[in-house]
Structures are given as C-alpha cells and as structure tokens.
C-alpha cells in the first residue's frame, strides 16, 4: 500500500517535530541533548522503513529516553532493568558516548524481553504519531474558529435592532 505525497511529507516533518515521549513524573527535561539529537536521527532512519513497505516503530533512542525517565520515577523489575541496560548500551555505543561498563552491560535479551521492547517501541510510535494528529486537529479547529470570527467581524450587520 503506497502512501500519498502529503502523508509522506507529514511523516517526514513528524520525525523532526513529534514530541519525545517520556515517562510521566517530571524527568523529561533531564534528557541529555545528545540523546534528543539521536532520537531525531534514528527517527529519520526509521522513517525510511515506510518507503520500503516495512512498518515503522519507535527507535532504540526513544526507548532509551522513555526507560531513562521511568527509572528515575519508579523502581523497575529485573526484566525492564535488563531491557533498559540493553537499549542504553546500544544507544550509547551507536552514538559514540561512553562505553557501557562491563559489569552492567547487557549483550542480549530473552525472547520475552525482546517482545516487551518491541511492544514498547510500537507503543512509543503510536503515542507520538497520535500526539501529532491531535495537535494538527486542534490547529485546524482553531484556524476554522478564527476564520469564522473574522468573517463575522467583516460582514456588515444588515439589521440592527
């Protein structure tokens, strides 16, 4: 199923402007700048999947950001800790940040942990695209209201009582 040009442009703009989804709790502002940049660059790469007919998802960097803020808000169980260390290690090494220390490096995940990570990435992708669509709807609604107000102000009153 091929997408139309408007939809492809919308997706491309979304990779640059969509919000970064973080765990609720107020730690979103603590994300380092390099991670925010990595999210944008990985989103661009992920967006290319769509042109090849593959289904795009959230990225490793997005999962890392979400799990980072989650870890600052609430304790994680063993599986999510392993997933976080795994995705953080991949993200750190991909963007040439400090190497993950050997004592906490996670090289692979169990099949259940991989499934959980994939579900998280799919959820992150849906959340950010839904946020974009809601923002666009609100913007269109506001624009229509402004146009109606402007028309009403410009239209002379035919009868005044």
Choose among 127, 130, 3: nearest CA to 65: 127
141, part of any domain? no
Domain residue limits at 58: 5-128
Residue 148 domain-assigned (yes or no): no
In a domain, residue 78? The reply is: yes
Closest CA to 39 of 21, 25, 27: 21
The total number of structural domains in the chain stands at 1
- The tokens describing 103, both together, are 């004592």
Residue 150 in domain: no
Q: Does a structural domain hold residue 133? A: no
Question: Which among 92, 87, 95 has a CA at the least distance from the CA of 71?
Answer: 87
Domain membership of residue 144 (yes or no) is no
- 62 within 8 A of 40, measured Cβ to Cβ: no
Q: In this predicted structure, what is the pLDDT of residue 60?
A: 96
Q: How many CB atoms lie within 10 A of CB 81?
A: 15
Residue 33: the pLDDT is 92
Asked whether residue 64 is assigned to any structural domain, the reply reads: yes
pLDDT at position 159: 61
Q: What is the pLDDT along the chain (161 residues), one digit of tens a residue?
A: 445 777 778 888 888 889 999 999 989 999 999 999 999 999 998 888 877 888 889 999 999 999 999 999 999 999 999 999 999 999 999 987 777 888 999 999 999 999 999 999 999 999 998 988 888 888 888 888 888 887 777 776 666 55
> Is there a domain that residue 146 lies in?
no
């Amino acid at each position: 199923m091929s997408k139309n040009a408007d939809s492809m442009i919308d997706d491309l703009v979304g990779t640059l402007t969509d919000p970064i989804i973080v765990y609720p709790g107020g730690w979103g502002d603590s994300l380092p700048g390099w991670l925010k940049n990595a999210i944008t660059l990985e989103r661009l790469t992920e967006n290319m999947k769509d042109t090849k007919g593959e289904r795009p998802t959230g990225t490793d960097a997005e999962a890392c950001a979400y799990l980072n803020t989650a870890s600052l808000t609430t304790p994680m169980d063993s599986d999510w800790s392993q997933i976080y260390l795994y995705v953080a290690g991949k993200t750190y090494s991909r963007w040439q940040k400090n190497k993950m220390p050997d004592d906490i490096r996670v090289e692979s995940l169990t099949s259940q942990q991989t499934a959980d990570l994939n579900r998280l990435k799919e959820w992150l992708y849906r959340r950010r695209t839904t946020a974009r669509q809601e923002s666009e709807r609100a913007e269109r609604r506001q624009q229509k209201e402004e146009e109606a107000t402007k028309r009403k102000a410009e239209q002379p009153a035919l009868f005044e009582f």
